[in-house]
Amino acid sequence: YAMGSKVGEVLLYYCYCEVKDPEKLCAWQKALCQHLHLTGKVRVASEGINGTVGGSKVATSLYIEVMLSQPLFKNILCQEDFKSSAGGAHCFPDLRVGVFKEIVPMGIDPKIVSYKETGIHLSPQEFHREVEQYLSQASQGQSDTILLDCRNFYESKIGQFQGCLAPDIRKFSYFPIYIDENLELFKDKRVLMYCTGGIRCERGSAYLRSKAVCREVYQLKGGIHKYLEEFPDGFYRGKLFVFDDRYAICSNEDIISACRYCGALWDQYKLCSSQHCRQLVLTCPSCCNKGLTACCPVCQEKELKVTSRASGQTLKEECECTRRRPRVPIERVSQRMLDTGKD
């Protein structure tokens, strides 16, 4: 493990397909990852598999080879479906493989809204052209298109496509409610959707299509990951948030977010320093040095009165941040959509 452990990679992939025996696939997957010393998270369900794993280059390429030869994924999964970035086993605390109802947690039964009803997939090149066209029309105030970010607020905060609509949601299971509460917004529009690796769009676009209000629904195939491989300096600015210990990967030098305390440009997340809080905070080195390391004043106070509770308890932490963020915000969009790059 110590030998060159830092020069490995992290893979991100998913495959929608019918899985007759998820428990069996789960056990096989777990054994495979352990054998290759991979860490990370893999979700298995009757609708397919979704994983992000890290390890040495040898291990990850073997993993891809084995995955491609697994009869279940034959002719569905291909080399192209694996997105890779620099990293390794150290990017994850451990290995977690489990069986779930959905391979991406949208909170809606796959039998009701199926990945089979997805939007039209666009390659990074096609998506790039669409965004270009959208931006030039929007600048003249005459666009019939919405560029929709399907990710959570803390992801879009540090990196996004110019001119996008980025919902103020905390998790993907709020996305359907967000759509329901903002249906007017999507009426007769062409919608261009994107997410990190493409998987949230598979179900998100199916959900939006099920509402039958949009003119057309498109999605970026392979997500921002694949787009940045082709257009590192394209219309996506800032960093790409990833769900592992790296927090973000970088393709251009732009910083589009600011330190929570002093407002200086800053986009490197840390976990709130208050013990039970799981919020991410943007606090720059000089503010950190001043001891400003919590997500909000409530947590900063809490940290000073170090909790004297029995250490065994895990608490669902409520703080200013979680209270301030409504569970599902209703988007009031007018000029804001066209004011690109604003926080």
Task: List residues with catalytic annotation.
Answer: 195
Sign of the C-alpha dihedral computed for residues 267, 269, 274 and 276 taken in this order: positive
Residue with tokens 């996305």: 175
* 52: its two tokens: 């992000």
Check if the beta carbon of residue 289 is closer than 8 Å to that of residue 262.
Answer: no
| Helix residue spans in 36-169 (DSSP H) | 57-69, 124-139, 153-158
Q: Give the Cα-Cα-Cα angle 176, 151, 74 (nearest 5 degrees).
A: 90
Measured between its terminal Cα atoms, the distance across the chain in Å is 41
Q: What are phi and psi of 28, to 5 degrees?
A: -60, -45
In a 13 Å sphere around the CA of 143, the CA atoms on its Cβ side amount to: 26
Task: Tell which residue, 6, 3, 90, 100, has the closest CA to residue 51.
Answer: 100
| Helix residue spans in the chain (DSSP H) | 22-35, 57-69, 124-139, 153-158, 175-181, 183-186, 199-210, 223-230, 285-289, 297-304, 320-324
Chain centroid offset of residue 246 CA: 13
Report helix, strand or coil for 203. Answer: helix
* 249: its two tokens: 């990967």
